Amino acid sequence: MAEAPLLLTNDPGERDRTDALLLGLVAEGDREAFGRLYDRFSGPLYSAALHILQDAAEAQDIVHDVFITLWEKASSFERTRGSAFSWAVTLVRNRAIDRIRMRRRRAELLAESVPEDLGYGAEGGAPSADDAAVQGDNARLVRAAIAGLPAEQRQALELAFFGGLTQEEIARRLQEPLGTIKARIRRGLLKLREALGPQL
């Protein structure tokens, strides 16, 4: 593998360049670069998926699927359209929202097709105490990190990731230029990555 400047840095531009370089190497089939990208992205991506889904197993599935996509489609990454990390977070967000929609649809179908007296509408198997504790701790970390963002970044991220709105829809709702909304979301993502990466 070609040597890449992979030193830890607090400079977002340098991190983005390193991520883009690694993704370019992944596009060439470089497994070591893929491992390094996994080390850099997996914690924050899992945190984002868990915050949306509130389910550790589903969050792990989503992150696994996203890394398969990064491996298979790395060559389609265009740096002019955003950072590698933003691309990965967008993949997580889209898959997590799809999973929630599927979950709701399954619940609706079940409610429509199963008689109430069979008791299938009740909660299924609850997570173990250990899993619930880990989920609770991770969710608290994510909530604290989001709460620590400046108000305008927090609002844009919440509308995008938890409200399911596109950047264009957020710009219309907040009556702000699209470029401003994109910049807020990007800055917020970078701050969340810094806050959550070492902890999860």
Chain segment 130-172, per-residue pLDDT in tens: 555 555 556 677 777 787 888 898 888 888 777 777 888 888 8
The mean pLDDT of 28-53, rounded to a whole number, is 92
For the segment 51-78, the average pLDDT, to the nearest whole number, is 91
Q: What is the pLDDT of residue 191?
A: 83
Q: Where are the domains of the chain?
A: 10-114, 149-200
Token couple for 181: 């909304």
Q: Are 67 and 81 in contact (CB under 8 A)?
A: no
Give residue 124's pLDDT.
47
Euclidean distance between the first and final Cα of the chain, in Å? 28
Q: What is residue 18's three-state secondary structure? A: helix
Instruction: Answer whether 173's CB lies under 8 Å from 165's CB.
Output: yes
* Mean predicted confidence (pLDDT) in 40-68: 91
User: For residues 120 and 131, what is the distance between their CA atoms, to the nearest angstrom?
Assistant: 23
Query: Mean pLDDT over all residues of the chain?
Result: 78
- Residues 171-189, mean pLDDT to the nearest whole number: 88
CB 146 within 8 A of CB 192: yes
Tokens of 138: 């991770």
Q: Does domain 149-200 fall into CATH 3.40.50.1100?
A: no
C-beta separation of 44 from 146 below 8 A:
no
The answer as to CATH 3.30.300.30 being correct for domain 10-114 is no
Report the interhelical angle of 178-196 vs 84-113 (nearest 10°): 90
Residues 55-74 have a mean pLDDT of 92
Within the chain, residue ranges assigned H as helices are 12-27, 31-53, 56-73, 84-113, 129-147, 151-157, 167-174, 178-196
* pLDDT value of position 99: 84
Q: 75 versus 139: which is more confidently predicted? A: 75
